[in-house]
Amino acid sequence: MKLVKNSVLIVDDEGLNITALTHILNSDYTIYIEKDGIGCIETAKEMKPDLILLDVIMPAMDGFEVIKILKATAETRDIPVVFVTGLRNSQDEELGFVLGASDYINKPFNASVVKLRVKNQMQLVNQMREIRHLSITDTLTEVGNRRHFNDVIQQEWQRAVRRETNLSFMILDIDHFKMYNDTYGHLQGDIVLKNIANLINSRLLRPADQLARWGGEEFAIILPETDLDGAKNVAEDIRVAIENAEFMTVDNKPTRVTISIGVNSIRPSREGYTLEKFVADADAALYKAKELGRNRVCVI
């Protein structure tokens, strides 16, 4: 698997400083460049760099003003900022740390020191990213967990309300999974869960479509900007793919499973219709699918 470089946004109004820092860091990191505070803020929002190297003294808006805005903005508040400065005033250095700076790099640049300070920040960034990934990932299937999905669906609901767009949601349940576990064992059941998660993900074609393990043998999918017909098509595609799939046992024998799916879709502007009701209706549609014989897609 190809490793993705960490990224650094260099913000300095002096071209020589930008050239020097780029030369020092370019081989190890993806570099973005801005020459003023406004550009820094906009690029930080858009590109989400892993680290910002921010000059303190700049015209119009100095680094202290920039970091205040960065730390007060949801999209950028968690990006570490390292001040780049020729100042030697301890009060300025203290102010920078009070405002949220992670470190300082002094001018003129010492290439080895610059590399080490940036490397130290990147190690912290990557450690925190891994911790976050583990906290939102189901350990068995390696898709999102229920906690993460609850956050995602809340965000997508609010976005759909703001933009007045459709939002679709479905809950998928493996039919007679207890019987499957009793027949083939829980180890085989875990293999099936992992394979089904991979199969479902392969049928979701847009980055915005989110899959999570809802609990036990249940999965959930959120489909932003998707109407009911579109959601039903996705659900039926997943149902057929799983129905036709063979899941090999540890002794190389083929087994099959089916799933039942409950689907709900809405443009969430109806007064009094809550996110909780939206989810509950999808769950009710799932139970309807089970009552009608399983291995089917139902809507409420």
Using a 10 angstrom Cβ sphere, with 0-12 exposed, 13-18 middle and 19 or more buried, the burial of residue 96 is buried
Q: Is 94 a catalytic residue?
A: no
Please pick, among 42, 65, 164, 217, the residue that the annotation labels catalytic: 217
| Cβ atoms of 17 and 84 closer than 8 Å | yes
Residues designated catalytic: 217
